[in-house]
Amino acid sequence: MPTNLVINGEDRISSRGSMTPLIDVLRDEFFLTGAKVACREGVCGACTVHLDGRPVVSCLVPLGTVEGRDVRTVESLAVAGEPSPLQLIMEEHDVVQCGMCFPGILMVLTSFFQERPHAERDEIKAALVGNICRCTGYERLVDAAVALARRS
C-alpha cells in the first residue's frame, strides 16, 4: 500500500513496505543520500532527520508511521542554494569531518538551536550525545556551535 509523505517540502508517495526503515526509503527510493546508514540500531545518529520538526534516527522509523508527516533531511538546510547559518559557521571554523556523522550532527544542532539559540557549551555537548563521530574530536564542532550561539 502506498505511503504519502512530505519530504523537504515536496509531496511524495512511496511504494515500499510499511516496515521499511525510513532511511532506506530516503536513500534508495528518493536518492536523498545525506542521511547515512551506519549502525542500524539508533545509537550513532548518522541517519538523523527531522520528522515533524523533531530529530529522529531514521533507521528505526518504519515507513508506515510517517504517513502524511513532514520529513526534512540535511538536503533541506540550504535554502535556494544558500547554506544555513549553522552550515556557514561550520565552514568558517574549518570543521572537517569525513561526512558519515556530519549530516546527523547538523540536523540535531539545527533543531537544538531552534529551541536554544543562546545555548552554552555544556548544553551543546549534551545535545550531541547521540551523535558518534569516529574520525575526529568534537572540539572544533562545539567551538563552531558556541560561536553561532554567541552571534544569535
How do residues 2-25 score in pLDDT, each as one tens digit? 999 999 999 999 999 999 999 999
Identify whether residues 89 and 32 lie together within a single domain.
no
CATH assignment of the domain containing 144:
1.10.150.120
62 contacts 18 by C-beta, under 8 angstroms: yes
133 contacts 97 by C-beta, under 8 angstroms: yes
- Predicted pLDDT of residue 115: 96
Domain's final residue, options 32, 52, 76: 76
pLDDT of 137 > 80? The answer is no
**Residue found under cell 510517517:** 66
Identify whether residues 93 and 146 lie together within a single domain.
yes
90 contacts 81 by C-beta, under 8 angstroms: no
Residues 99, 119: Cα–Cα separation, whole Å: 25
Identify whether residues 11 and 59 lie together within a single domain.
yes
131 contacts 108 by C-beta, under 8 angstroms: yes
Looking at the structure of the chain, the number of domains it has is 2
Identify whether residues 7 and 69 lie together within a single domain.
yes
Of 76-80, 95-99, 120-124, least confident by mean pLDDT is 95-99
CATH assignment of the domain containing 38:
3.10.20.30
Domain's final residue, options 76, 105, 140: 76
Can you tell me whether residue 51 is helix, strand or coil?
A: strand
What is the arithmetic mean of pLDDT over 37-60? 97
Domain membership of residue 109 as a residue range: 85-151
What is the arithmetic mean of pLDDT over 75-90? 95
Determine the longest span between alpha carbons in the chain, in angstroms.
Answer: 48
